[in-house]
Structure 1
């Protein structure tokens, strides 16, 4: 029996083969668990996480909904702009571009990130 997470990881490795974050255009990676959502802006050339945001770090009661994803999208965009990052490459992490992933991406775009 094939597990759902194994399928997601396979899809994610296919996505990662095609895109990588550079110094001038880092990668915005998103991970969604049942109760939380996490976002990181990563420079793959240096192997360094520039900024990160998550519902776990913000101590919000629920992270498993669209409203929390919008908050994290806005937060990651603001933190990235403080570090001088305006353009990113969006990495959906093997998840479908739908629901919480889409909400986070649209909130980050509205807050000023370009991708």
Structure 2
């Protein structure tokens, strides 16, 4: 029997997590994308702590108007600015089983434009 969409995505997510591991010096940039919103956080996997987070539901970003791709780009820039304030320059990118396309790609490009290195 073929895999369902959820099972296939979980396999991809597990495969990505095998190689993507976050430390305090180089945290993991984890992305979660729902149908309406996009969430991103920097995670230190050694201590299991979230260092910095941003989402399209944040107060400063929720008032933005535009397409989902434009909002994802703004979230990428916001996480990069927060990371720079926290002294983080490089991250390990974890796309969460999503294809590197559309909103995920836009978020990554926005983070790179604002100075975050993958």
**TM-score, L = length of structure 1:** 0.92
Which of 76, 80, 104 lines up with 2:79 in the alignment? Answer: 76
Moved more, 63-72 or 100-109: 63-72
Query: What root-mean-square deviation, in Å, do the aligned CA atoms of Structure 1 and Structure 2 show?
Result: 1.8
Describe the superposition over 1:24-77 as per-residue Cα deviations: whole angstroms up to 9, x where unpaired: 100001111100000001110110100000112233477971001001000000
The aligned counterpart of 1:41 is 42
Unaligned runs of 5+ in 1: none
**TM-score, L = length of structure 2:** 0.90
Task: Count how many residue pairs are aligned between Structure 1 and Structure 2.
Answer: 115
Unaligned runs of 5+ in 2: none
The aligned counterpart of 1:27 is 28
* Structure having the higher Rg: 2
